[in-house]
A = this chain, B = another copy of it.
């Protein structure tokens, strides 16, 4: 029990601190040599990110490929797993991490301390920690890092102006890990320069962006591109000028095109000032309604980045219909490693099972890139909860190969992170992570209902907190039932899906329980397929969710976690248990007060 964890996160297989390097192949050589692995490296630039590990251990690959090969080899050896055979190629060329770090040093939805990159309006980082981060990202294949919040707040807009020299220095560090930087930009930035408009069809605006982008690429020739949140939650955008989002995105894309940069345009557009009395407007329909008609109008280097579900990273959502709709547009699916609605990196919530579901429904071929909101911060362990690193780790490998099995990813993370664990302990850790999402789901909003979270910070229950609000997030509970009919007879949201998904969900009786209340309005006395009423199922789930969390706590206490992971994980588990009980009691009380139904097993309802 007294072991001390000496390496950050899963990097136990990399001995010591890496010196400054300047190119991925140089990093690869250093890592192999210092790990005592005598593997010849052969750089074949045409291979790019791809690599192959020969029978003799020789690694052939592009400049980044050899680095990925080196890490893969070292990880396989450390975890005692077989080496991958044949040429390994990532599924997507852009495997992005979006950090929501503000220039002032705080992080929007950050649960691991302050920013690793910024403080007091400017860059302020520890180069050694940047190199550790570079190792973390490269070891799992993440190759694009957007360092600033999509809400470009405070002085963050300066990043692409007088902040360029500093941005270039950071890019130098990450270049050695095959990681290219990206920046979130402010669509209205020309207004800061005496141009009276940000209209994307205005020549002065186009010229400003083209010239400024030339300067940006003069400083950082391999910048991955710009990330934009426009016309969303009060951010400026093309709507203000009567233009659509193809106009807006293409204008910026054309400034980037000569430099090979991508324009990543987030599709998180909805009416955040909805009248709660309005039952016709249905927020999940918004993104599809806005963007589907624009399919085919976007330039080649535009990527539309779409959250995996139609709402906003809720615990359980169906796949966004927009991801299935845009066949002539380059798309990225967006996940959120930051546990905004999923437990704040206090409660355990391992995400790979959820990604698996999304990709099984969506099909990996429907997107050309993948992004995730980061869960990093200045905490010593980088992710607040030591196990939250499993999400970052798995995300990288999943982005490389979206056919990956969740259990294999989490198991590899466990073996690398806690090499002292026995086989039984590894299995026990992996089991715990594999069921963590199902447990969290069970004690929070029932059956895909969403938005029962406390509106102050999004941790803990708030059954009615979003019910009379302007966010388009309603459950419409009353004394008879709960939920919104999103079928053809209701808001019609379900009609945005292709037939095979529509058919899965449209019949309330056959709709999978997990999304029953996402798609249907149900009475409390409606009987589910297992013979229980809806209300009894809600009660049962919440009591069971807490029991399972308690069992998880027991498992956790039995694991020989090294310090300080053990103390951090145990302390957070106590908070998770308190949170789970609070969720159970509030959700059950809320529905008990509406339904009047007693619990079939006589457990306490308040």
Contact = CB atoms under 8 A, between A and B. Distances in A.
Interface in A444-478: 456, 461-464, 468, 477-478
Contacts of A478: 592-594, 596
A301 interface: no
Contacts of A462: 468
Contacts of A77: none
A277 B595 CA distance: 18
A596 B477 CA distance: 12
A418 interface: no
Nearest to A460: B468
Given A594-B594, A606-B276, A606-B277, A468 B461 contact: yes
A586 interface: yes
B276 A468 contact: no
Given A456-B456, A606-B276, A479 B595 contact: yes
A589 interface: yes
A396 to B, nearest CB: 38
Contact of A479 (B456, B461, B468, B593): B593
Interface string A590-606: 00111110000000001
Contacts of A480: 596
Interface in A553-585: 585
Question: Copies of this chain, how many?
Answer: 2
Which residue of A464, A477, A480, A592 has the most chain B CB atoms within 10 A of its CB atom? A464
Contacts of A595: 479
A76 B243 CA distance: 65
Which residue of A468, A478, A594, A596 has the most chain B CB atoms within 10 A of its CB atom? A468
Contacts of A277: 585, 589, 606
Contacts of A464: 463-464
A515 to B, nearest CB: 23
Interface in A286-343: none
A393 B426 CA distance: 73
Contacts of A596: 478-480
A281 to B, nearest CB: 14
A586 to B, nearest CB: 5
Nearest to A277: B606
Contacts of A461: 468
Nearest to A467: B464
Which residue of A456, A592, A593, A594 has the most chain B CB atoms within 10 A of its CB atom? A593
Interface string A269-287: 0000000110000000000
Contacts of A477: 593
A551 to B, nearest CB: 23
A453 to B, nearest CB: 13
Nearest to A597: B479
A592 B461 CA distance: 23
A573 to B, nearest CB: 21
A583 to B, nearest CB: 10
Contacts of A594: 478-479, 593-594
Interface in A112-158: none
Nearest to A456: B456
A582 to B, nearest CB: 8
A522 to B, nearest CB: 15
Contact of A468 (B456, B468, B586, B592): B586
12 contacts: A276-B606, A277-B585, A277-B589, A462-B468, A463-B464, A463-B468, A468-B589, A478-B592, A478-B593, A479-B593, A479-B594, A479-B595
Q: Which 10 A-B pairs have the closest CB atoms?
A: A478-B593, A464-B464, A479-B479, A277-B606, A468-B586, A479-B596, A479-B594, A277-B585, A479-B593, A477-B593
